[in-house]
Amino acid sequence: MKLKILFITVCALSFSACSFFDGFDADPMYFSFSEDPSLVVSAGQGEDTQGILGVSVYADGFNVGVFDLPADVPVIDEDAETVIDILPVVRNNGQGDNPIEYPFYESISFSRAFNPGESFAVSPEFKYKDGLNFLYLEDFEGQHRITEDIDGSDTVVIQKVNDPRSGQFSGAITTSEANPFFEKATLNTFSSADINNTLVYLELDYKNEIPFRVGIIGIAGNQAQRVYKIQLNSSEDWNKLYLDLTPEILTNQYTSYKLLISNLPNDTDYGTVQFDNIKLITF
C-alpha cells in the first residue's frame, strides 16, 4: 500500500505520463473535485469568504498529492474500502509558491468502497475546526475598531463604504497629495498569552489601488515596536490573505500586540485600500 500511494504522489502532476498502474490488476478509482470550494461558518466565526486554492488528499493515511481545483484524483487500493481525508490548501502569507494545509480548517473525511474505474464527485465544503479562539472579528457592518492613529493624523481615516466582499460594507482608506500617508492600528490590544505557544493567523479580505503593508505593534513593558510582516501589491479584485503572525509575536517575546496597517512611506501614488472580514484566530 505505501508504495502505491507514494507513486501516485510523485505522478500526481503528470498523471497521464505514468504507466505504473499497468502492474496492478485493478484500474484506479477517481475522486472528482469541482473548482468552487466553499466555507461553512457558525455563529462567532465571521463571514464565509475563503481563499482555498487546492486540496491535499490522503488515502488510508498516505498522501496522494496536492491538487489545484478542479481536479480528478486517482487512487488505487488493495483493500475493499478506502479512507479518504481531504485538507484545504491556501497560500501561506500570500505567497503562491508557499501552499500549506490551513491549520484552522477541518478536513473532509469519509470511507468509500474501492470500485476500479469509477468516479465519485466530491463537494469541497469546509468548516473551521471546533474550539478555535477568534480573538478579533471585523466586518465593518458596525463601528469598526481600527481607529488608533499611529501616523498622528485623524484626517485620513478608515470609512465604511458600500463596496463589500460580503455583507453591506467594507472599510476604505484613501490617500491624496494633501494626505499621502496612513498608519493605523486596532484599538484592541491582544495578549500574547492567548496564543499559548501555538499558532495565530490573520485572515484579511482586501483590494487596493496602491501597495500597503500589514503587521503588528509589539509591546513589551513600556516599549512598543512596529513589525511589518508583508507588503501587498495593487489588486483590482478582492483577495484573501492568510498571514502567519506567530513568529513575529512569540519570537520577540512581546507580552501584547496590536494589528497594524499602512501604505508605503513616501509613496507618490495615491489611491484607496479596502478591507473586509478581518479575523485573528488561534487555537
Sketch out the chain's domains with CATH numbers.
2-127 (2.60.40), 133-282 (2.60.120.430)
Q: How far is residue 57's CA from residue 72's CA, in Å, rounded to a whole number? A: 11
Burial 3-27, CB ≥16 within 10 A → b, else e:
ebbebbeebbeeeeeeeebeeeeee
Q: The whole model's pTM is what?
A: 0.90
pLDDT at 25: 58
Per-residue pLDDT tens digits for 152-172: 999 999 999 999 999 999 999
Please check whether residue 254 is in contact with residue 117, taking contact to mean a CB–CB distance below 8 angstroms.
no
Look at residues 93, 74, 90, 258 and name the one whose alpha carbon lies nearest to residue 183: 258
pLDDT over 60 at 10, yes or no: no
pLDDT at 96: 82
Per-residue pLDDT tens digits for 200-250: 999 999 999 999 999 999 999 999 999 999 999 999 999 999 999 999 999
Per-residue pLDDT tens digits for 104-157: 999 999 999 999 999 999 999 999 999 999 999 999 999 999 999 999 999 999
pLDDT over 60 at 44, yes or no: yes
pLDDT at 192: 97
pLDDT at 26: 66
> How does strand 256-263 pair with strand 190-191?
antiparallel
